[in-house]
Structure formats: C-alpha cells, structure tokens
Amino acid sequence: MSKIKNIKNLISKFKIYYNSLNLHTKFTITHIVISTIPILLIFLFFHGRIYDMVLGDTVRAEETASNLAIPQIDKLVDNILYAQKELEAQVSFKKIFSSTETIVKGNSDGNFYSSTFCNKVRELIDQKTITNIVFYVDVDKSEEIFHNEDTKQIFKPIDDGKGSYWYGIFQGNQSCKSLFCPEFYLSPDEINNFGDMAYITKTSVIYNGEYRTCYCSIYYSKKPFTELLKTTLAQDTSVVYIINDRDSTVATSDELLSGFYHFSYEQVHDSFMSSNNFILKTILDQDVYAGFYNIKKTDWFLISIIPSKVIISKTKLIIMYFIIACVIYILIAFFTAIKLSSSITNRISSIIEKMSKVRTSPPTPLPQSLYHDEIGSLIDTYNYMTLTINQLIEQHIKAVENLRISEFRALQAQINPHFLYNTMDMIKWMALNGQGDEVSQVVIDLSKFYKLTLSKKDVVSTIADELEHASLYVKLQNMRYNGIIDLVNDMPDYMMDLTIPKLTFQPLVENAIIHGLFEKIPRGGTIVITGWIENETAVILISDNGVGMSKEKLSTILSSTGTSKTGSKIAIYNTNLRLHILYGNNSGLSYRSEVNKGTEVEIRVSLSKNNLND
C-alpha cells in the first residue's frame, strides 16, 4: 500500500509540475513526444526484419538479372548451333560427309574444292561470336585439300588436333558426338589462331573406300559470355560463373571468386533438382546464397553466388542510414515543435499584452490574424470590439474628405487650359478676319460655358443644365473644327428636371470627342445622349461612333491608376467617385466599347437615395 501511495504522490507532483509550466514549454514537449515515439516504434519494429528485407531484395535483384541474362546466353549458344545446322544443310557438306560415292582423294569430282561450301563457311565467321570454323580430317597430309589456297584454312589434318584435351575426350568416349569446349580444352595453337572456346561435332568421310573420322570445330569467343556475366549479373562482391558436366569453368565474372566459391557439377545438379530459388550453402566456413540455372541445349549450369557478408554489410549500412534519418527527423521535430509552440504562445501573449493596457489607455486593435483557428477568432472578436467606434468615425471623416477632394478635382479638371487657349486663339483670328458677329457669339458662349463650369452655388444641377453645358462645349469645338461634331439630344422631357452631380455630362462628352471622334480618319462623328427610368434608377446613355477602346484600356478607364491631376480621364474618375458618394455604390459609370465601332458610357443614378434634388 505504501508503494502505491508513493507512486500516486509522485504522479500528483508530476502533474503539478507539468501544469505549472508555461504554454510554450508544454507545447514543445507535447510535439516532440508525439512526433518522436512513432519513429522509434517503427525502428524497433523493423530492426529485426531489415536483414530479411535486404536478403529478399538482393536475391530478387539477382534472380531478375539472371532471368534477363539466361535468354541472352541461350541466344549466344543458338548462334553457334545455328552455324552447325547451316553447314549441315549445305549440299556440298552432304556430298563430302555422307555420300558413299565420295572418295577424298585427288580432284576427280571437285567436292572438296567447292567454292560454294568455302564461301558459306567464311560467311558464318562473324568475328564477334564465331571466330573460325575448322574441319580436322583423318586423311593423308599430302592431300591437296590441306594445300589448296581455297581450302587449307578450313581443312586441317587430324594430327593438328591431337594435342588438345577435347581430342582425348572424344577418344576416351566413343559415344560422344558433340562437345562444348571451354578454354582449357583447346590447344595453345587453337586459342592463338582460331578462338578460345569451341563447339566440336564428330562425323566421318570416305577415304580410299573406308570411313575416316572428321571433327567439325566451330570456334567462338569467350568474351561475350564474360562481359554478359560481368555487366548483367555480377554485383560488387558476388560472383557468377558457368560450369559444365566435367566441373570445368566455362566463363566467369571473377576468376578468383569463382575458384573460391566453387560448386561441383553434382552439387549443382542435385540443388537445381531440389529448388528453383536461391539456397543457403556453406563453403569454407562461409555462408553463401547460391542460385542455379540450366543453360538449354548444353551441359552447362549458371551459378550465381551472393556471400552472406554482402547482405550483412548492406544491412549495417541501411541501419546506419536509418539511424541518421531518425536523428535528423528528431532534430527537425524539435525545431518544428519550438516553432509551432512559439506561433501559438506568441499570439496569446500579444492579446494579453494589449488587454493589460485597458486599465491605463483605450484599447488598440491587434494585427489581423492570418489563421482561422480559435486564437484567430479571439483576435477577430477583440479587434471588432475595439475598432467599431473608430471605424465609424473614420468612415465619416473619409466620406466628407473624399467628397471635398472629388469636387475640387472635378472642377479643376474642367478648367482645361488648352481648351481655353485654343478658343481664345480662334477668337483672335476671327477678329483679325473681321468676323465681329462670330467673335461676339463665341465670347457669349465661352462666358456662359465657364459660368456653368465655375458656379459653386449648388453641388447638383438639372439634366437640362448639364445638356446645355455639354452643348456649349460641342458648339465651341465645332466653331474651331468647322462643325465636324454632331450632338444628338434624345433625352425624354420627363427627365429634364431630374438632378445629377454638377459637371457630369461635359467630361464624358469631352472624352468622347478627344479620344473617340478626333482619332477617326477623317475626324468627326456623332454623339447621342438619351435616358430612361428603370426600377427607381435614372439611366443616361452617352454614345459615340468613334474609334472605340481595347479591352485593356477599357479596364482602366474608371481607375485612378496612371491618371494625371488634370484632363478628361481624371474628370471621369472623379465623376464616378462623386456618384458613388452621393447616391451609393449602385450608382456610377459603366463603359462598353468595341474597337472601330464606338463607345457607350452608362450613367446610373439611384432616385431612392437622391437627397439633393431640392
């Protein structure tokens, strides 16, 4: 009971200690524990299985490589056997080695000197796989076949082959009809002159009325077999080799290792018959994994050896990499835990700091949270409480200031010095030409135009006054440009007394003339102003048949970006802004345009919010 009580007390003290830690430390510990425990469990779970995994992977890789190499070895063997079949299929071959009428003597029927047969032999020698073809014939050395230029390279006396190991095999086993010969079966002369491996078949010829022995030797190179074993199968510390039924090594990827890890033909045959997979064997107190594969149409076996030390080395290397990865992972988890903990506790601390200032000064808002979690919601709520009154005050001040600036810039934009200079210059030339009546009319119209422009009596004016103002502007322009502009007033009478912000039509008409009609070739065109009432909204449409605008230009026409402080574009921007301020966001300007066809600007004024009509 005392032990249980001590344990409970220890747990209680730990809880008190842990709960007394600050949030940053708690979060850091929690994150590290949560992220580290799974990786440690995975390591403990797979530690004992890594060897088997590496073994399985290595064996599968070796089996796959072997399965890819066997067909290539079979193809090399088939090339050799194909050469033998091609020779046997020749008519001259059958006459020489099968006909009972053939006598290998003299030049009576010319069978031995058949150019067709000799050419076929040379054709089969490709110098890649098959390096030479020689017939060892048991006839007198004085026969012309051994001296004739056309046959002496192909036919050799039997004595030239007696010094080789293969000849002894044929002599010792009379039933042997064919033999695949590795390098040491051949004599040094054969290796130097013909090739380092051979496929030899036993046949006979008739000489002086009796059968004499003949050996057909198809020599080929060991190099393709060796390169195939080295490049396709052998790993860094493993070995692959081929043996025949006399325990002779046919080809190997490593002479030293194949001798060290040598299997007898009997062992290979028994193991091959009992299993098709890699099996564990012990050679000279070393465990190796060996795989055996039969080479078709030969007495060969391919043996693939993987020493267990290779598997152990790979296993140790993988464990080392895994440990390094675990250490890196734990370090990343540690720094990530610190970062995540700071991201939470710092935000809470900032809220506490702001709230603590309430006792001495008004609350100030926190920066807007980028995250939509519980802390983000807390920050949003706090900011809402502290910013509501300030936002209302700022909105009111901003609205008044925007209206003042908008009106000032709108009026300023209308006083276009270039228009005034050009009109005064026109008056000068009219006076010089004695056009007194025209000068008087221009002065009256110009005076009336600027009277309407500069009047500060009201913020708004009637549509009728706005139309008159626009008409005066067009009239003055026509006096200067010989009447190339047509202004069509199609405004309904019932809309004439409606009020809109002062100086609304003139900048839109000016923009249509300067950027629409004057850019046409030839210059000039028509502007139409019309309107209607739609759902408590006055809609006024000003259209022209000018050059129109591209989509890119149309997208910036109502923005303040790139505008100067004077000119028609800033006037349009300010007109749109004043409509928004006075009548709400549903009122304002909207443009539609098509290149080379014209432009329409639609003015919408909400009648329900129009408090300036009186």
Contact status, residue 26 vs residue 337, Cβ threshold 8 Å: no
Alpha carbon distance 414, 450 (integer Å): 9
Alpha carbon distance 81, 57 (integer Å): 36
Alpha carbon distance 425, 142 (integer Å): 131
Residue in the structure block whose two tokens are 């020489």: 96
Among 463, 427, 418, CA closest to 445: 427
Full domain range(s) for residue 169: 90-223
> Model confidence over 107-142: pLDDT tens digits?
444 444 467 778 888 888 876 788 999 999 888 888
Report the chain's terminal Cα–Cα distance, integer Å: 95
Alpha carbon distance 383, 381 (integer Å): 5
Classify residue 360: in a domain, yes or no: no
Which residues are CB-neighbours of 470 under 8 A, at least 6 positions away? 487, 505, 506, 509, 529
φ/ψ of residue 254, rounded to 5: -155, 115
Among 221, 215, 211, CA closest to 80: 221
Classify residue 28: in a domain, yes or no: no
Angle between helices 23-47 and 308-356 (to 10 degrees): 170
Domain termination residue (choose one: 164, 190, 223):
223
Classify residue 314: in a domain, yes or no: no
Report the pLDDT averaged over residues 373-377.
69
CATH of the domain at 503: 3.30.565.10
| 522 preceded by a cis bond (ω within 30 of 0) | yes
Q: How many domains does the chain have?
A: 2
pLDDT at position 579 over 60: yes
Which residues are CB-neighbours of 59 under 8 A, at least 6 positions away? 277, 278, 289, 291, 306
Alpha carbon distance 442, 373 (integer Å): 70
- In three-state secondary structure terms, 191 is helix
> Model confidence over 233-253: pLDDT tens digits?
645 667 888 998 888 889 988
Among 582, 416, 404, 598, CA closest to 506: 416
Query: What string of H, E and C letters represents the secondary structure of 514-568?
Result: HHHHCCCCCCCEEEEEEEEECCCEEEEEEEECCCCCCHHHHCCCCCCCCCCCCCH
Contact status, residue 425 vs residue 442, Cβ threshold 8 Å: no
- Whole-number percent of the chain with pLDDT over 90: 17
Angle between helices 568-583 and 505-512 (to 10 degrees): 150
Report the pLDDT averaged over residues 400-420.
56
pTM to 2 decimals?
0.49
Instruction: Read off the DSSP letter of residue 387.
Output: H
Domain termination residue (choose one: 184, 199, 223):
223
Alpha carbon distance 323, 291 (integer Å): 32
Classify residue 126: in a domain, yes or no: yes
> Model confidence over 29-81: pLDDT tens digits?
776 777 777 777 776 776 667 777 777 777 777 777 778 888 888 998 998 99
Contact status, residue 499 vs residue 491, Cβ threshold 8 Å: no
Residue in the structure block whose two tokens are 């220890």: 10
Domain termination residue (choose one: 223, 241, 262):
223
Classify residue 551: in a domain, yes or no: yes
Classify residue 387: in a domain, yes or no: no
Residue type, 362: P
pLDDT of residue 530: 95
Alpha carbon distance 553, 558 (integer Å): 10
> Model confidence over 198-226: pLDDT tens digits?
999 998 887 777 888 899 999 999 988 88
Q: Are strands 286-294 and 239-243 parallel, antiparallel or unpaired?
A: unpaired
> Model confidence over 318-364: pLDDT tens digits?
778 777 877 787 778 777 777 776 766 776 777 777 667 666 666 67
pLDDT at position 546 over 80: yes
Beta bridge partners of 613: none
Classify residue 289: in a domain, yes or no: no
Arithmetic mean of pLDDT over the chain? 78
Residue type, 579: L
pLDDT of residue 386: 75
Contact status, residue 507 vs residue 416, Cβ threshold 8 Å: no
Contact status, residue 499 vs residue 533, Cβ threshold 8 Å: no
Instruction: Read off the DSSP letter of residue 365.
Output: P
pLDDT band of 565, cuts 50, 70, 90? very low
Classify residue 372: in a domain, yes or no: no
Contact status, residue 476 vs residue 452, Cβ threshold 8 Å: no
**How many Å separate Cα 219 from the centre of its chain?**
52
